[in-house]
Amino acid sequence: MSQVPGMMSRKELESAVKSGEIHTVLTVIPDLYGRLVGKRITGHFFLEEVAGHGMHMCDYLLACDMEMDPVPGYRFTSWESGYGDFLCEVDFSTLRRASWLEGTAIVICDVVDARDKAPVRVAPRSILKSQIERARSAGFVPLGASELEFFAFRDSFESAGEKNYDGLQTYGSYIEDYHILQTTKIEPLVGAIRHHLDHSGIPVEFSKGEWGAGQQEINLRYCDFLEMADRHVVYKNAAKEIAHQQGLSITFMAKWDAAHAGNSQHLHASLWDLTGKTNVFEGDGDVIPDTRARPSKTFMHWLGGLLKHAREMTLFFAPYINSYKRFMPGTFAPTGIGWSYDNRTTGFRVVGDGSSLRTECRIPGADANPYLTFAIMLAAGLDGIENEIDPPEIFNGNLYEAEGVEQIPRTLAEAIHVAEKSEWLRDTLGEDVLEHYLHFARTEKRKFDEVVTTWERARFFERG
């Protein structure tokens, strides 16, 4: 039997298809945005053909934008190369029931070259797997979790679109951080999401109201980085579909409205030995003042790598124009690069002690691709360990008001510029991979720059 409820083995799927319990297998990959794209495959055809041979999909899926526009300028594929196919190889370790959909299972694939079966280097899952293998070679297993926030609305996705996403009614009228009364009101939606995730191989710890009207957070049980990223994208997709089923809508935009809090993707991380029994962040170093945490040199060097490369990582933590509107003082989203113990004004918050000692990276937004956020954070931490990078002194107080503190890039343009100049990113990811994601970011910026916004019309239509 599967260890985690909702996970399935190939043999269990065969039995479920034969009995008629499962008739459809969602066979998917995560794209550049972290969306799930793929095919709905009949259960019998999946088992007869796809399970052993994989499936083909057009390679433009890793070179297009949110509107599915085949964007020119990518080296990976183009109109000149004819937009061929890549091969999607089934990873059976990801096979799970999609309990929110009748008679459906879902499985994630790895993207490989259709000719030589080599991993496609620009695929988000390939990038994360490469860094995890690097960690294992160094004797570490990275474990962690992503805290993912969203806003819920009484409008459906369709009616929200008809309103041009203006004048939407949040599912709540006041900040509901930890409130039980308001979360009871939204329980038909959030309870359904928790229930279906828990029955689809995604163990849930809890949900809570967040620091916004209609804002919620659902926390998943920690696990290895690849499994967490897989859980993250399935959760995100499932939550939207469950909201749709109820005539509601939700958004994971980093900042859906200037008057409301942003949506975060806080990344918790620790490194364990290859047995998975010992957290190597725990050690015999000096106790962090006023805590019981006694970090190891490995922990301090991991932290040093994170802080050294924080500005370079931001392009992957905040990949869109909208992402940077979340970085506002006094909103629980960081603006400065520093670390502290249990301090939510810093970009890197240290929490726990003993076997629970870990870092919380507070920079990524809920809009970011989790395969990339986990991969780039892991790469920075490993660089800190390999080069014995010491972090700056611990910060105490309100980092929002501190002077002389290095700042997170304030715009997508600044983050692109920082990433373009980063030899560390180029060496870590490879020239081809970095250029692929720089082109992705430049395209996002260019397409926004070409649009006339409602703000501009309101400001200049009459008075300009």
Q: What are phi and psi of 63, to 5 degrees?
A: -155, 35
Whole-angstrom distance, CA of residue 406 vs CA of residue 424: 18
CATH of 10-121, one of 3.40.50.10300, 3.40.50.620, 3.10.20.70, 3.40.50.11540: 3.10.20.70
Mean pLDDT of all residues in the chain?
Answer: 97
Fold of 133-455: Creatine Kinase; Chain A, domain 2 (3.30.590)
pLDDT of residue 285: 82
Whole-angstrom distance, CA of residue 440 vs CA of residue 325: 19
CA 400 to chain centre: 25
Residue ranges for the chain with pLDDT beneath 50: 1
pLDDT of residue 88: 98
Whole-angstrom distance, CA of residue 183 vs CA of residue 181: 6
The domain ranges of the chain are 10-121, 133-455
| Residues 6+ away with beta carbon under 8 Å from 443 | 65, 71, 73
pLDDT digits (tens, 9 = 90+) for 402-460: 999 999 999 999 999 999 999 999 999 999 999 999 999 999 999 999 999 999 999 99
- Say if CB 134 and CB 141 are below 8 A apart: no
Predicted model pTM: 0.97
